[in-house]
Amino acid sequence: MYNNSRFYKDIDNNFTLKIDDKPFKILQLTDLHFGFSMITKKQDKLAMDAINKIIEKTCPDLIILTGDSIFPFVIKSGTRNNIKQAKKLIEFMDSFRIPYAYLFGNHDVEMGSKGNKDDISDIIINGKYSIFDKGLEELTGVGNYIIKLINNNDKLINTLVILDSNMYREGWFYSGFDCIHEDQTSWCMQELSELKKQNSDLTALAFFHMPLPEYKEAYEKMKLGDRSVQYNFGSISEYNDYFGITKYQCDFFEKALDNDIIKGMFCGHDHLNTLSLTYKGIMMTYGMSIDFLGYKRIKKRYTQRGGTLITIKQDGVFDVAPIPLATVVSSFVRGQK
Ligand SMILES: [Fe+2]
Ligand SMILES: [Fe+2]
């Protein structure tokens, strides 16, 4: 676990990170898909080089890995050993000497993989620069936690909510993607309402792996010319405008609207989607992905590859910018004039 005098765990189980007077930079990296096996050396090297470049370019204060960091999918990576992969991941991430937060995607503990979420969590927690907590045991998922950002005057200026969006509802790939469950949502909103008592202008940003159904809803509305949706940047480049969303009921977005504290949401999962829209006052962003191994012929695709930089100012206001690895980034969005 990250050990620093400006970082600690509170009695309420949330983390606190004291930030400097300058704008605080968070780099979202997603879908690294590290194989860390004999047959994935080439792809792993490419992914590492890409991450190196993005970190060098952005010099973040905190990195947030939003899922599918490791890929124990035997058909692609030739291994089920996610224990070894997690150890390699923290070794790599620790080399930057920048704190990093981790959350689970749907592949990190892929079906048939050696370690479960508890095993992987125990490894991640051991990272010298890692920020991670398993979260309350009674909650669905592993790794639901909160990082409070306070300034030098101990004022709470922003809150980062890290959530496990779970994997497959019935336990296997073809049963369809799961989502953030109701109990996680109510825990999150309750915590935020409590924190808002310290700062009535509090804003929060939520990080999870799989997009919410509202990502698609907003995109569809934008295509129809609905002016309530604001286009920020990026594109939907998955085949047939695909969104890897759940078909089950998910109330996270609706509850976030009621709660009125979360103003930004960041996910990964659909590697070719990089779209950022603001819908009903909430900015919803697909992080640029790293993947060199998961998708077919992904090595040759480049407009989706990169990171996402979130800059939080002292007044809590945040700004989001895509950081493409290549100099070219697609801004093509079907339906946009
Ligand atoms: Fe992925
Ligand atoms: Fe995924």
**CA–CA separation, 239 and 242 (whole Å):** 6
CA 199 to ligand 1 center in whole angstroms? 36
Tell me the mean pLDDT in the region 120-132.
98
pTM of the model: 0.97
What pLDDT, on a 0 to 100 scale, did the predictor assign at position 335? 55
CA of 24 to the centre of ligand 2 (A): 27
Ligand 1 center to 299 CA (angstroms)? 14
Centre of ligand 2 to C-alpha 222, Å, is: 25
Calpha distance 135→162 (Å, rounded): 10
Number of structural domains found in the chain: 1
pLDDT digits (tens, 9 = 90+) for 283-331: 999 999 999 999 999 999 999 999 999 999 988 899 999 999 987 667 7
- Is 188 a domain residue? yes
* 334 domain residue, yes or no: no
CA–CA separation, 16 and 62 (whole Å): 13
Establish if 141 belongs to a structural domain. Answer: yes
Pairing label, strands 318-324, 306-312? antiparallel
pLDDT tier at 337, thresholds 50, 70, 90: very low
pLDDT-above-70 percentage for the chain: 97
Q: How far, in Å, is the centroid of ligand 2 from the Cα of 279?
A: 23
The yes-or-no verdict on residue 53 having pLDDT over 60 is yes
Is residue 337 one of the residues assigned to a domain?
no
CATH of the domain at 151: 3.60.21.10
* pLDDT, position 334: 64
Residue 44 makes CB contacts below 8 A (sequence gap 6+) with 34, 35, 36, 292, 293
**Of 208, 329, 220, whose CA–CA distance to 274 is shortest?**
329
Q: In this structure, is residue 276 part of a structural domain?
A: yes
For residue 192, the CA-to-ligand 2 centroid distance in Å is: 27
Separation of CA 77 and ligand 1 centre (Å): 13
CB 27 within 8 A of CB 60: yes
Q: Which two tokens stand for residue 171?
A: 């336990």
Task: Give pLDDT tens digits for 254-269.
Answer: 999 999 999 999 999 9
Confidence of residue 23 (pLDDT cuts 50, 70, 90): very high
Whether residue 2 is contained in a domain is answered as no
Nearest to 160 by CA among 139, 133, 181: 133
Which of the two residues, 174 and 55, has the higher pLDDT score? 55
Residue range(s) defining the domain that contains residue 162 = 8-324
What are the tokens at 35? 């194989």
Residue 225 tokens read as 């010319």
The half-sphere exposure of 75 on its side-chain side, counting CA atoms within 13 A, is: 6
Residue 9's DSSP bridge partners are 15
Q: What percent of the chain has pLDDT over 90?
A: 89
Mean per-residue pLDDT over the chain, rounded: 95
Candidates 105, 50, 107; CA nearest to 82 is 107
For the cut 60, the answer to whether the pLDDT of residue 176 exceeds it is yes
Q: What ranges make up the beta strands (E) of 268-305?
A: 276-279, 282-286
pLDDT digits (tens, 9 = 90+) for 91-114: 999 999 999 999 999 999 987 999
The average pLDDT across 4-21 equals 93
Structural domain includes residue 268: yes
In a domain, 331, yes or no: no
CA distances from 77 to 42, 72, 74, 126 (A): 11, 6, 5, 24
